[in-house]
Amino acid sequence: DSGVTQTPKHLITATGQRVTLRCSPRSGDLSVYWYQQSLDQGLQFLIQYYNGEERAKGNILERFSAQQFPDLHSELNLSSLELGDSALYFCASSVSGWDTEAFFGQGTRLTVV
Amino acid sequence: AQTVTQSQPEMSVQEAETVTLSCTYDTSENNYYLFWYKQPPSRQMILVIRQEAYKQQNATENRFSVNFQKAAKSFSLKISDSQLGDTAMYFCAFMKLVGGANNLFFGTGTRLTVIP
């Protein structure tokens, strides 16, 4: 158990819908990352938050947005869903500073039908 | 921009043998971390080993060791005495510090199959 909690574990929804994925980082971790992994693909970096502020943005679509709340949990909002958005979405967290590593949640598997 | 390249999409190794997975990266930073993550069929991302760029000594974790060549920007993973449980996707990752936060970048992965 990495200490990073993602909910829900599985999500099935229809095209055009909107969903919210939730991530609770490890206790004390200030940085949260979101990644998308499509079938048999590598991890595509979407966005990173640090202590409530957006710190880095990767290949995140305009239909997607995220935020990190004062209690440090984060949510990834996916709207106007398309079939191609079906993927495993990972959240990871890390402590700020050099002596750190990222810990991953178990992912949310999103299926758009 | 940082890039991480894994040039071997798939590899296989006989059980109990040794295999080396390659990774190169591109950065202008001097201080950073490098990681190898394992993703078994369960899809869970598991940290295998990490290397601090300022350390010249190569990291080792039991059967896993790295060959870190900073000048060549190379970071390969050696798995000794391969076991069936090592079958997984392996991702090389690079982390740098930016404005007090860490940015983590992944390669495209190498699928390793251990053959009984």
pLDDT per residue over B36-45, tens digit each?
999 998 888 9
What mean pLDDT, rounded, does chain A reach? 91
CB–CB contact B95 A103 (8 Å): no
Which tens digits make up the pLDDT trace of B13-33?
A: 999 999 999 999 998 888 888
* Alpha carbons A32 and A50: distance in angstroms, whole number: 6
> What is the structure's pLDDT at A72?
95
Per DSSP, the three-state class of B85 is helix
Write out chain A residues lying below 8 Å of B61, CB-based. none
Whether pLDDT at A7 is above 90? yes
> What is the structure's pLDDT at B42?
86
Distances (CA, A) of A16 to A35, B23, B24: 21, 39, 40
Mutate to test the interface with B, among A32, A46, A98 (most CBs of B within 10 A): A98
Mutate to test the interface with B, among A9, A101, A103, A108 (most CBs of B within 10 A): A101
> Which residue type is seen at B41?
P
Write out chain A residues lying below 8 Å of B50, CB-based. 101
- Evaluate the omega torsion of the peptide bond into residue A8 and state whether it is cis, within 30 degrees of 0: yes
Q: Are A112 and A60 in contact (CB under 8 A)?
A: no
Which tens digits make up the pLDDT trace of A58-92?
A: 889 999 999 999 999 999 999 999 999 999 999 99
